[in-house]
Amino acid sequence: MNLFLAITDRRKDGFHNLVSLVVSLDWGDTLHAELAEETRLICDDDELPVDQSNLVLKALAAFRESTGWTAGVKLQLVKRIPVGAGLGGGSSNAVVTLRAVNALSGNLLADDELAKIATKLGADCALFLQNAPVVMRGIGDQIETLDNKTLQRISGQSILLFKPPFGVSTPWAYGQMAARPETYLPSDQAESRWNQWQKGESTDLSDLGYNSMESVVFGKYPAIPALFRLIREKFGLLPLMSGSGSASFVFLEKDTPVDEVTALIQEMWGDASFVTIAGLA
């Protein structure tokens, strides 16, 4: 999940550069993997494809290509992360698959070799090989680990995570930013925002909160900024999108009226909206 996300510019190859503080949550999908006579993927979400378009099977295929390992694997995916949420569900599942089949194969690949495969599967995949918050740069392939002081300021915080019944297409959002270069936050300004928070003493992650993709997403999906405005006015909280959305979050304090915030979300977005509490891992 992105606590800070600045899209800085578009590269000549069509990809975008960014600066982002990314964390894992103590909540998400679960993948079970075991050796079997034949390979198959099972998922408890009937709407999720279980053919070769699924990143889980793409990850397995990439591992086989790199190692020549051919054993059958039964993969069972328990889906909790909503599709189209901007939370990296598919990418994280791909990386978990790489780790699982590497273990089943007797650890044929070292971590740096797994990272090379992960990067080919998706620009943001490599970060899921980390077990702690990181800063991503480039297209998501440049990973910087954080010092202990910064990690302590992040760890242990809780969020209320919520998503409307609709998703947002990440390629669409990037395309909109490319068409409107003024929506980019230049690299020097992005680094300045990050450095200012990192060098400060505040443990309030809301002081860092920023997502430049909101500038294009809000125009097409006004239900998101409408809810954000009410959350700010009623509860004094700072909502933010993660990635290109549509999943969003607020940081929780001990006195945050979670039930009231949840009721407002469901009033604005309907009972089909998704709401859960998660901790920063």
CB 217 within 8 A of CB 224: yes
The token pair that represents 122 in the structure block:
């998706």
The pLDDT of residue 36: 97
| pLDDT 10s digits, 170-182 | 999 999 999 999 9
Rounded-to-integer distance, Cα 117 and Cα 141, Å:
12
Could you state, in order of their start, the residue ranges of all structural domains in the chain?
30-129, 155-279
Q: In what order do the strands lie in the sheet with 30-36?
A: 30-36, 72-78, 40-43
Segment 103-148, tens digit of pLDDT: 999 999 999 999 899 988 987 787 788 878 999 999 988 889 999 9
pLDDT at 263: 98
Q: Find residue 142's DSSP bridge partners.
A: 137
Q: How many CA atoms lie within 13 A of 230 on its CB side?
A: 15
CATH code linked to domain 155-279? 3.30.70.890
Q: Determine contact, residues 167/221, Cβ cutoff 8 Å.
A: no
Q: Per-residue pLDDT averaged across 208-221, rounded? A: 95
Q: What is the DSSP letter of 82?
A: P
How far is Cα 74 from Cα 38, in angstroms, rounded to an integer? Answer: 7
Compute CA distances 95 → 51, 129, 170, 206, whole Å: 17, 7, 19, 29
Q: What are phi and psi of 117, to 5 degrees?
A: -65, -45
Among the four given CATH numbers 3.40.50.2300, 3.30.230.10, 3.40.50.720, 3.90.1150.10, the one describing domain 30-129: 3.30.230.10
Whole-number Å distance between alpha carbons of 41 and 72: 11
pLDDT at 86: 81
pLDDT of residue 126: 73
